[in-house]
Amino acid sequence: MIVSRQSNAAIVPAVMTLAGLAVLVGLGLWQLERKAWKEALIAQLDRRLSAAPIALPPPAEWPRLRVGDSEFLRVRLTVQFANADDALLYTGGSPLRDDIKSPGYFVLAPGRLPSGEQVVVNRGFAADRTYPRPSGSLDIVGVLRWPEAPSWFVADHDSGGSIWFVRDPGKMAQVRNWGPVAPFYIEQESPVPEGGSPRPAALKVRLRNDHLQYALTWFSLAGVLAAVFAVWWSSRRRANEPAG
């Protein structure tokens, strides 16, 4: 009877330990899956950003473009920047550009293609709000990017619509009265304008990949939990053994 009561009293800790082990090991395996996904993503972005630029897909293909297939695709295009109010995207630094060392603005402006459609172009980084405007047609090389989702906690833009905090070219076009624009935008790489501002640059993949460290942490916690239970179980058995 005593043995039976002791066994029943150990059931709950054992079940809780097994549940904890399942959760911790599951989290570790999930981090290993995330590691493989992150490595594949980095390799894909490296390939796209190092590939030779291709012609910007024609407007008829724009509705069929998808983020997974076209994000960070290097393209070349000819645009003529309109005499319109730019949208200045505030930035304190960029995970894709290591040349930005201080707060400033990315200058986004609508550029008209020879076919008549407009594409929003991130012309580059400006330290302040004074920079020259381009004139005439310009052949540029850039990277195709997609809009950011709005944030529940950060406003899209200031009250005047000139300073922005979210990369949303469609919303920018509405607020700044640019007219219809492509569903994506272009991060300009070249050419660098005379005077160097706004300053475009090639993007670099610098995604953090700490998933192996996280996986080892979860597996280590699982090992600690198993060891604690083993010590507890062993001490309980010794305490309940009949004397000599």
Q: Under 8 Å CB-to-CB from 215, ≥6 apart: which residues?
A: 28, 29, 31, 32, 35
Q: For 57-108, what is each residue's pLDDT tens digit?
A: 999 999 999 888 888 999 999 999 978 889 999 998 887 888 888 899 999 9
pLDDT of amino acid 100: 87
pLDDT of amino acid 1: 47
Residues of the chain predicted below pLDDT 70? 1-9, 207, 239-244
pLDDT of amino acid 231: 87
For the entire predicted model, the pTM comes to: 0.74
pLDDT of amino acid 5: 54
At CB < 8 A and 24+ separation, what contacts does 169-177 make?
169/108, 169/120, 171/147, 172/87, 172/108, 172/120, 173/110, 173/118, 173/120, 175/87, 176/84, 176/85, 176/86, 176/87, 177/84, 177/85
